[in-house]
Amino acid sequence: MSKSLKAISWIALYLALVLAPLILLLVMPRPPQREFWREVAVFLGFAGLSLMGLQFIPTARLGFLSDIFPMDTMYYFHHWTSVLSTLFVAAHPLILIANNPHVLILFDLANAPWRARAGIAAALAVIALTVLSVWRKDFRLKYEPWRFLHNLLAVGAIGLALWHIFGVRYYLATPAQRVLWIALPAVWGGLLGYVKLYKPWNMLRHPYRIKEIREERGGCWTLAIEPVGHPGLTFEAGQSAWLTIGKSPFAIREHPFSFTSSAERSGPLEFTIKELGDFTARVKEFEPGVPVYVDGPYGEFSIDEYEAPGYVFLAGGIGSAPVMSMLRTLADRGDGRPLYLFYGNFNWEQVTFREEIEALQPRLNLQVIHVLEKPGPDWEGETGYITVDVLDRHLPDDRKALVYFICGPIPMIRPVRRSLRQLEIPRGQIREERYEMA
Amino acid sequence: MSWLYARLLIALTVLLVLILAVLFAALPPI
């Protein structure tokens, strides 16, 4: 089955899962109808809950999905469907109040029935969940406590919402309806158990340990890990994995990193990590021997996914990590296809992998174009950013046949993508990996 | 292509939920 067909099948299944309970709500025997807007409000409440129940699937890193949909697209999808479900959930009480202001009695928490209290708490949890995620950085919430809170609020909100609908009972009066709203959360719970219990347990059975940590240019550290008591994993150059270092895989403390080693070698797996947040700054403090758990590989940002007569890599800063893996892999394969690397950095001293790239050049048909933002006075190469002019100067005439991999922070990806489109590179030949997830 | 899929799917979800909501509120129980 082609990738597009698979993608469309999964999308259809997702829609079916979200809409099935809502369609059943429509066609199952139901009690007498009330006012139009009251029923709309009730329906939106159910729609919000149905969307929320499936919300952890895109971020659950299910291999069969991440082979088709890039991880950053899944996060994008998770983000906007969450905002959507929050809007539905918020619309539910607002429309009820607008329709009949007497409903406000239920907001007198001291005297309100428990079903109303649970509903209000569920809505507040959903709103808190969304606000804390969209504006996490403004709240100065660190990634790890945020993720813990995020999971807690999500499970709490769903539990409270179920309490609310079973308390209200209006649309759960018949046994068939009750079975539906018990079966659905059971399915959500099963998927959650798979992700949060089965997967970590499986990781625990396949541990790795740190072999070496070495410093790279540009405030980066390369972490080399080796499997303990099992053959390890194979990956495609350009893919990434989630690492848990020095903690139990049940601790929900994993972080995503691209492989930087060659996919053709069976030695240690390497990841190069830039000191940015709290966790990445601590990487250098780990000692050899510390246990590491690997969840992966994931992603389709790989030369092996896109056949082409040549490749162009456009990397900003540590966005070069997956590119390094692809270059090392191509070198190990003795691949003679033309390759171009446009590599943007602040200055010459900070160019991560500078020496390694030079060492790879004799083994590859590779042209490297360094673009420095603040070069020294004797720099003769490109300066500023990877602009359309820079690309136009160095790309060959058959540029439209090549496949392009852009990797870096979002402020770098967008203008580079626009420049490629200006050069009339077909959209389907431009792949992106954003180095910012949540 | 994937971004297009994601946006289309979100738009489709909104549309279908709103259509179903109106049907649910307007049609008498079967």
A337-357 pLDDT, tens digit per residue, is 999 999 999 999 999 999 999
Report the chain B residue with the minimal C-alpha distance to residue A44. B21
pLDDT at res. A42: 95
Quote the DSSP letter at residue A185.
Answer: H
The answer to whether residue A438 scores a pLDDT higher than 50 is no
pLDDT at res. A338: 98
Domain boundary among A203, A226, A250: A203
Amino acid present at A194: Y
Put residue A252 in one of left, alpha, beta given phi > 0 → left and psi -120 to 50 → alpha: left
- A204 — phi, psi (to 5°)? -60, -35
Same domain flag for A199 and A212: no
Which residues from chain B sit within 8 angstroms of residue A73, using beta carbons? 2-3, 5-6
The answer to whether residue A155 scores a pLDDT higher than 70 is yes
Q: Rounded to whole angstroms, how far apart are CA atoms A283 and A156?
A: 33
What are the CB-based long-range contacts (under 8 Å, 24+) for A433-436? A433/A70, A433/A72, A433/A238, A433/A258, A433/A299, A433/A301, A433/A319, A433/A322, A433/A405, A433/A406, A433/A407, A434/A72, A434/A409, A434/A410, A435/A318, A435/A319, A435/A407, A435/A408, A435/A409, A435/A410, A436/A409, A436/A410
ipTM associated with this complex = 0.95
Cβ neighbours around A176 below 10 Å, total = 11
pLDDT at res. B28: 86
Same domain flag for A81 and A195: yes
Same domain flag for A7 and A147: yes
Nearest chain A CA: its distance from B28 CA (Å): 7
Q: What is the CATH number of the domain that holds A222?
A: 2.40.30.10
Summarised one tens digit per residue, pLDDT across range A89-103 is 999 999 999 999 999
Average confidence (pLDDT) over A39-48: 96
Same domain flag for A177 and A212: no
pLDDT at res. A59: 79
Question: Pick from A117, A95, A100, A99: which is nearest to A108 by CA?
Answer: A117
Domain boundary among A253, A271, A298: A298
pLDDT at res. A437: 46
Same domain flag for A284 and A343: no
Q: How confident is the model at residue A64 (pLDDT cuts 50, 70, 90)?
A: confident
A189 contact B CB<8A: no
Q: Rounded to whole angstroms, how far apart are CA atoms A292 and A288?
A: 10
Which residues from chain B sit within 8 angstroms of residue A427, using beta carbons? 1
Which residues from chain B sit within 8 angstroms of residue A413, using beta carbons? none
Same domain flag for A278 and A350: no
Average confidence (pLDDT) over A275-302: 87
Average confidence (pLDDT) over A396-412: 94
Quote the DSSP letter at residue A32.
Answer: P
Domain boundary among A186, A203, A220: A203
Chain-chain contact of B13 with A427 (C-beta, under 8 angstroms): no
E strands, A254-347, in order: 255-258, 269-274, 291-298, 311-316, 338-345
What's the whole-number average pLDDT of chain B? 88
Answer whether A370's CB lies under 8 Å from A381's CB: yes
Same domain flag for A423 and A368: yes
Question: Pick from A298, A321, A292, A273: which is nearest to A225 by CA?
Answer: A292
Q: Per the omega criterion (within 30 degrees of 0), is the bond before A227 cis? A: no
Q: Rounded to whole angstroms, how far apart are CA atoms A390 and A369?
A: 9
Q: What is the CATH number of the domain that holds A384?
A: 3.40.50.80
B19 contact A CB<8A: no
Chain-chain contact of B25 with A43 (C-beta, under 8 angstroms): yes
Same domain flag for A50 and A193: yes
Which residues from chain A sit within 8 angstroms of residue B14, using beta carbons? 84
Instruction: Return residues 65-84 of A near B (CB < 8 Å).
Output: 69-70, 73, 76-77, 80-81, 84
pLDDT at res. A192: 86
Average confidence (pLDDT) over A159-170: 94
Q: How confident is the model at residue A404 (pLDDT cuts 50, 70, 90)?
A: very high
pLDDT at res. A280: 81
Q: Identify the residue with better confidence: B3 or A346.
A: A346
What's the whole-number average pLDDT of chain A? 92
Report H helices in A304-387.
320-333, 354-360
Same domain flag for A189 and A61: yes
Average confidence (pLDDT) over A391-409: 96
B11 contact A CB<8A: no
Same domain flag for A94 and A37: yes
Q: Please state whether the predicted TM-score (pTM) of the whole model is above 0.80.
A: no
Pair type for strands A291-298 and A208-216: antiparallel
The residues that bridge with A255 in the sheet, in sequence order, are A243
Summarised one tens digit per residue, pLDDT across range A134-151 is 998 899 888 878 988 999
Total domains present in chain A: 3
pLDDT at res. A1: 67
Same domain flag for A154 and A218: no
Same domain flag for A127 and A257: no
Q: Helix (H, G, I), strand (E, B), or coil: what is residue B23?
A: helix
The b-or-e profile of A80-92 (16+ CB within 10 A means b, else e) is bbbebbbbbbbbb
Domain around A70: 3-203
Burial of residue A322 (number of CB atoms within 10 Å: 0-12, 13-18, 19+): buried
| Torsion on CA atoms A398, A404, A408, A412, rounded to nearest 10 | 50
Quote the DSSP letter at residue A55.
Answer: T
Q: Identify the residue with better confidence: A267 or A45.
A: A45
Q: Of the candidates B3, B25, B29, which has its C-beta nearest A36's C-beta?
A: B25
Quote the DSSP letter at residue A221.
Answer: E
